[in-house]
Amino acid sequence: MTLTAMIAKMSEGLGRTCAIFFLTLLFSLPLGLLVALMRMSKNKVLSSVTSACISVLRGTPLMLQLIAVAYGPFYLFGYTLLVKEKLLAIIIAFSLNYAAYFAEIYRGGIESMPVGQYEAAHVLGYSKHQTFMRIIMPQVVKRILPSVTNEVITLVKDTSLAFTLAYMEMFSIGKQIANSQSSFLPFVIAGVFYYVMNMIVAFVMSRCEKALSYYR
């Protein structure tokens, strides 16, 4: 198989890789904020349970979580996922895993805000919701953006773990070609694809950081 043919074949899985990436971000970013608020709740039971869930999700491999979500229904209910349902299992596992990491990033950003800002907002007549959404959250976003960027870049590379469920994204196709052709070239091509994607992510996030800079 020629180099052009390999690139063309692997690009077929690029759309699936991008789908995993964007859908994971779509669900994990807001879910992470919700989990962070639950983790910071004054309700000790809710806070403790949330903390335990975060600990499990961060403390076990994403690959293991993928397997648990995909094959858990069979062992629990005798239900086997259909091929078209594999993407759903992948998105659920990825979203839960990354929500746990984003939750801790959000929590660190929120807790770093000076108490005086809450007190000043209260004096000005802002409600708790208005204070959080209009004053605290915009500053938190700016503070946590570098950490979020690191996680997003990691997510680009982690999409390759979808091969665990035999989902034919870019890396899985590259691995298939490499096995059939006894060539390492498909892995090099995959590496270039991931590198370019990460450069795009880094550029976009850098522009976002500059847009939020207070000192422009």
Q: What is the mean pLDDT of residues 187-215?
A: 87
Is pLDDT of 215 > 60? no
Q: For residue 197, give both structure tokens.
A: 């994607």
Q: Which of 193, 200, 203 is nearest to 17 (CA)?
A: 193
Taking the C-alpha atoms of residue 46 and residue 203, their distance in angstroms, rounded to an integer, is 38
Q: What is the pLDDT of residue 214?
A: 60
Q: What is the pLDDT of residue 55?
A: 95
Taking the C-alpha atoms of residue 17 and residue 60, their distance in angstroms, rounded to an integer, is 23
Q: For residue 72, give both structure tokens.
A: 């858990």
Q: What is the mean pLDDT of residues 104-126?
A: 86
Q: What is the DSSP letter of 81?
A: P
Taking the C-alpha atoms of residue 205 and residue 8, their distance in angstroms, rounded to an integer, is 29
- Tell me the CATH class for 3-211: mainly alpha
Q: Which of 96-100, 159-163, 206-210 has the highest mean pLDDT?
A: 96-100
Residues ≥6 apart with Cβ < 8 Å to 88: none
Token pair 């207070």 in the structure block, residue? 214
Give the confidence band of 133 by pLDDT, cuts at 50, 70, 90. Answer: confident
What mean pLDDT is reported for the chain? Answer: 89
Q: Are 106 and 144 in contact (CB under 8 A)?
A: yes
Taking the C-alpha atoms of residue 82 and residue 12, their distance in angstroms, rounded to an integer, is 21
Residues ≥6 apart with Cβ < 8 Å to 74: 80, 81
Give the confidence band of 62 by pLDDT, cuts at 50, 70, 90. Answer: very high
